[in-house]
Structure 1
Amino acid sequence: MSVITHRTVKTNGIHLHIAEAGQGPLVLLLHGWPESWYSWRHQLPALAAAGYHVVAPDVRGYGQSDKPWEIEAYSMKQLLADCTGLLDALGEKTAVIVGHDWGAAMAWTSAALHPERYRAVVGMSVPHLGRAPMPPTQLFQQMFQDTWLYILYFQQPGVAEAEFEADIPKALRTIFAGPPGYDPMSPIVRAKKRSDGYLTGLDAPATLPAWLTEEDLAYFVKEFSGSGFRSGLNRYRNMDRDWHELPELATTKIHQPALFVIGEQDPGRAFAPIEPMKALVPHLREPVIVPGALHWVQQERPAEVNAALLAFLKGLPT
C-alpha cells in the first residue's frame, strides 16, 4: 500500500498542509465542510497504487493550513489562486482536479476559469450550476422563504461558531452521523424557527455508522479543536461576493472531460438537480449515483467511488 506523506507548501501568500502519495500524473483532491485532507484517506492510497501522484490539501482555514482571519480571505478567487499556486509549488503544469462539497465548487470553478491548468474535473455531491440569476443569499431567501436554511444561518459571523465550538465532539458527531441538518426538506429542519441553531432538534447518535469509526471522528475533532469553525464558515459568507467577482461564470462552459458523483440518498439531489449541468459541462460523462450513500460519499462508499474515479482517470487522453 502506498504511504501517505505530509508536508507544507507555500502558495498564494499562505502555507498549505498537504497529504500526498504516489508518483505519476497529478490528481488534486479538495475537501468540503467541515472536513480536512483526511476525508480522502481512502482515495489517496488507491489512486497512488494505480500510478498517480495524489495530493489532498487542508484547504485554507482547515487543519494544519494557514487560517487568515478576514472573511474575504475565503472568496472563491482566493481559493482558486491557492490551487493554481499549489500546482506551481509542485512543479506541475496541469492536474486532474477532484472536489467534494465546497471542494466540488472549487473544482468546477477551477476547471471553468483555468482550463489550461486542469485537464479534467470530477465533482462530488455538489453539481456545477454556473452563476445564479441573483446573489445566492437573495435566491435562497426567495426559494425557502420561512424554511430554516443552514446557509443563511451561517451568514452571521460568530453565531454558528459559538454553537459548534461549545461541544466540538458532539457537533461533528451530529453533522456527520446524525439526521442531515443541511436538508431543507427534512421535517426536523422544516419545524425549526428562525432563531434556532444548526443542531436544534438533531440528536448525536450513540453509535456511528460503519463508514465512520470513533478514531476517524477523533481525528476531525482534533483538527477542529485546533482550528475552530470560523474559517470554514467564512466560505459561506463569500457566496454573494463570489457572485459579484466572477460574473464570467454566467457564460463560461467547462469543456474538459468531467464526471459527477453523488450519493443516492444525498438530500442535495432535491434542490440541486443534475440535468441543468449538462448544458454547462458538454463533455460530462454519465453521472455516478452511488447506492445507499448520503452526502459524505467518498467516505461512505470508498470502493465504489474509487472504482468510478479510476475508470474516469484511465479513460482520459494521455
Structure 2
Amino acid sequence: MSDLQHKFVDTNGIRMHYVEQGAGPLVVLCHGWPESWYSWRHQIPALAAAGFRVVAPDQRGYGQSDAPAPIESYNILNLVGDIVGLVNSLGVESAVIVGHDWGAPVAWNSVLLRPDIFRAIALLSVPYFPRGAMRPTDGMKALAGDQHFYQLYFQEPGKVEKELDADPRRSMAMVLYSASGDAPRDGEFSFLFPKTKKFIETGTVPAKLPPWLTEADLDFFAGEFKRAGFRGGINWYRNADRNWELTPFLDGAKLRQPAVFAAGEHDVVGKMIPGGYELAGAFTPNLKKKVIIPGAGHWVQQERPNEINQVLIEFMKSL
C-alpha cells in the first residue's frame, strides 16, 4: 500500500498542508478543534486499504497551513472555499466528505453549496441542523444564563488563546482527556462553567493518558500548536454570527446527499444541542445510518477507531 504523503496546495488565497494516501474514489477528512490532520491517523490507512484516495488537510489556522491574521478570514465561506480549491487541485470531479466537530459544519456547508462536487457526507459528533432564526450568540447567551458558555468565552480576541498557548501540551492533555469517554463523569468537560473560572481551569489533566492517546500523539498535537498557536482555530468560533449573517439563503436547508452520522455516547455535543442526537436525521432525509458508540466521548474517531472505520468503509462502499 502507498505510504502517507505530505503535500501543499495553494487554495483560496492560502497555502494548505494536507496528507494523502491510497488510490480510488476521493474522500476528504475535515478535522475539528483543537486538532489537525493527525486526528484522522487511524482512518487514513484504513480507508486507503479499503480502496479509497484519502486526503486530510490541516485546515485554515492549523498545523502547517496558513493562519491569516484577520478574524473574518475564518468565515464559513472561506473554510468551504479552501476545501473546494483542494479538491479541484486533485483533478477529480467528486468526493465524499467527512467532518468531525468543527469539521462537520465545513462538510455540510460544502455539500449544501457544492452538491456538484460532494456526493455524500459523513458527520461525526455534530449532527446536521440548518441555520436557525436566532443569531447564534443570542442563543448562546440564553443557554449560558449566569455562567460562562465556552463558545461565548472564546469570542474575546486574545483571551483564551493566551491561556492555551502558555503550555500547549498541558492544554491538549486537558482538552483531549476531559472531553473523552475516559474522563470520570464528574470530571468531564462542561460547556458551562462558573464566571469565577478561566477556560483552562475547567478540565482535568490526567495523571495517566487514556489508552487511545499515547505520549507520542500528545507530543505531535502539542508541537503543532506550539508552532501555529491556538488563535487560528479559535477564530472559527469568532465567526459564529458572521456565518449566520452570510447564509440566510440556507434557512431550513435539507441535506439531501446520502449521509451517515456517528458519535460517542458521552459526547458533550449531544448534551449541548437541544434534542441532542435525536435530531440527527430530522433534516437529513437520506441518512443511511446513525451510530451512537457506548462509552465513547467527543474524539470518537480517535477513541474508537475500529468502529468508526467500519461505519465509514461500509457507508462509502454502499454508494
State whether TM-score is above 0.5: yes
Partner of 1:283: 286
**Cα deviations by residue, 1:51-89 (Å, 9 ceiling, x for unpaired):** 100000000110000110100110000000011111111
- How many Å separate the matches in 2 of 1:45 and 1:203? 31
Unaligned runs of 5+ in 2: none
Q: Deviations over 1:244-291 (max 9, x none)?
A: 001122132111100111011112112322333423210012201112
Structure 1 unaligned residues grouped into runs of 5+: none
C-alpha contact (below 8 Å) 1:263/1:295 kept by paired residues:
yes
Q: How far, CA to CA, are the matches of 1:284 and 1:189 in structure 2?
A: 29
Is contact 1:147-1:190 (8 Å) kept? no
Map of 1:35 onto structure 2? 35
**Where do residues 158-307 of structure 1 align in structure 2 (5 Å cutoff)?**
158-178=158-178, 189=190, 192-272=193-273, 273-307=276-310
- Structure 2: distance between partners of 1:190 and 1:13: 34
Residues in 2 aligned to 1:76 and 1:3: alpha-carbon distance in whole angstroms: 32
Structure 1, residues 162-196: CA drift from partner, whole Å, max 9, x if none?
1111111111110001367xx9x978848843252
SS for the counterpart of 2:289 is coil
Question: Which residue of structure 2 lines up, in the alignment, with residue 133 of structure 1?
Answer: 133
C-alpha change, 1:205 and 1:130, in structure 2 (3 Å) is: same
The separation in 1 between residues aligned to 2:246 and 2:288, in whole angstroms, is: 29
Code of the aligned partner of 2:48:
A
Distance 1:191 1:253, change over 3 A: closer
How many residues matched?
313
3-state SS of 1:275 partner: helix
Letter paired with 2:301: Q
Q: Tell me the TM-score normalised to structure 2 length.
A: 0.94
1:100/1:189 Cα in 2 relative to 1: closer, same or farther (>3 Å)? closer
Q: Contact 1:99 / 1:107 at 8 angstroms: preserved in 2?
A: yes
Q: Is the contact between residue 123 and residue 261 of structure 2 (CA under 8 Å) also seen in structure 1?
A: yes
- Say if 1:192 and 1:251 are closer, same or farther in 2 by CA, change over 3 A: closer
What CA deviation, in whole Å up to 9, does each residue of 1:211-243 have, x standing for no partner? 000000000000000000110000000010000
Greater alpha carbon shift after TM alignment, 45-54 vs 109-118? 109-118
Q: What is the match of residue 88 of structure 2? A: 88
TM-score normalised by the chain length of structure 1: 0.94
In the alignment, is the contact (CA less than 8 A) between 1:192 and 1:200 conserved in 2? no
Judged with a 3 Å threshold, the aligned counterparts in structure 2 of structure 1 residues 146 and 313 are, in CA distance, closer, same or farther, namely same
Shift of 1:101: 0.3
Distance 1:111 1:191, change over 3 A: closer
**SS of equivalent residue, structure 1 residue 138:** helix
Residue 147 of structure 1 deviates from its aligned partner by: 2.7
Distance 1:37 1:190, change over 3 A: closer
Q: Distance in 2 between matches of 1:203 and 1:278?
A: 33
Q: 8 Å contact 2:111–2:121 — kept in the other structure?
A: yes
| In structure 2, distance between residues paired with 1:191 and 1:80 | 29
Q: SS of the counterpart of 2:7? A: strand
Q: Which residue of 1 aligns with 2:314?
A: 311
Report the Cα distance in structure 1 between the residues aligned to 2:107 and 2:203, rounded to whole angstroms.
31
Q: Which residue matches 2:11? A: 11
Spell out the pairing of 1:69-148 with structure 2 (5 A cutoff): 69-148=69-148
Which segment is superposed worse, 267-276 or 293-302?
A: 267-276
Q: In structure 2, how many angstroms separate the alpha carbons of the residues matched to 1:306 and 1:178?
A: 23
CA 119–161 in structure 1, closer or farther in 2 if over 3 Å, else same: same
Q: State the Cα distance separating 1:200 from its structure 2 match.
A: 1.6
112 and 153 in structure 1: CA distance in 2 versus 1, 3 angstrom threshold: same
**Partner secondary structure for residue 160 of structure 2:** helix
Is contact 2:71–2:239 with CA below 8 Å preserved after alignment?
yes
CA distance in 2, matches of 1:202, 1:256: 37
1:203 positional shift: 2.8
**Deviations 1:296-315, CA, capped at 9 Å, x for gaps:** 00000000000000000011
Secondary structure of the 1:51 match is coil
The Cα RMSD (Å) is 1.8
Of 50-59 and 248-257, the range deviating more from structure 2: 248-257
% same residue:
48
